Structure 1
Amino acid sequence: MTEGMGDKTEGAERILCDEGLRVAVGGLGDRVVVDVRDGTANRFWTDTSNLEKALHGEAVRIDAHGGYCVIEVREGTGRLDLVMEGVEHKHCDFSTGDLADAIAMVREQSDPEGSLVERA
């Protein structure tokens, strides 16, 4: 559904969970990075609108080199599943309010000079 892995982000970030996996969301405007750390850093780039779809109940898969993550919301709780090659499947649960706040935070920021760079 979406693409990519980046190695640079600017702007604020919002931590969704920090137990087992550390999941943070950051970005500027229409692009967002989901930063998942489980001993290694995995960065998943997507359009901010895809996280809005997840917030409204649609499972969103974000692919990156070597794996993917799936974000979905069910019954008021968000969940991120991380699937990477050669690594045990991991997940974390988070507040949908935190996801909504993260989306709003990213939308409020802008990138007028093109400083947000995505490199595959």
Structure 2
Amino acid sequence: MSRSIRASKQGTKKVNKAFNLSGKTKEYITGASGCSRPTFDKFLGGKNIDKQKFIAICEALKLKWTDIAEIESSDRIQLQGKVINELVEEIRESIEDSLEKECGTMRVLDMSRPIEL
């Protein structure tokens, strides 16, 4: 994925609507996101800015950056792969205790022995 990113046309509309409805000033958003005023103006105009700043601005506006960004299909596939991997890891962590309890011992001749999973 590239280092710079911009809002799609629909994303720009969502951003401007969210910004106007938030009642917050540009100074507040730039302070909350840690970016400069010109960077925020570029963001509002749909121009390329640094990806981390893009994400920070979206978070300051309480928007999901993947809904706002103009992402190419190959980048979208990579992003979906990352999301799937994160979900798999989260599920593994949540069932780890029960899996260990159910499958972590082997009974032989009425003796329980722990086994590595």
TM > 0.5 between the two? no
TM-score w.r.t. structure 2 length?
Answer: 0.27
Structure with the greater alpha carbon radius of gyration: 2
More helix by share: 2
TM-score w.r.t. structure 1 length?
Answer: 0.26
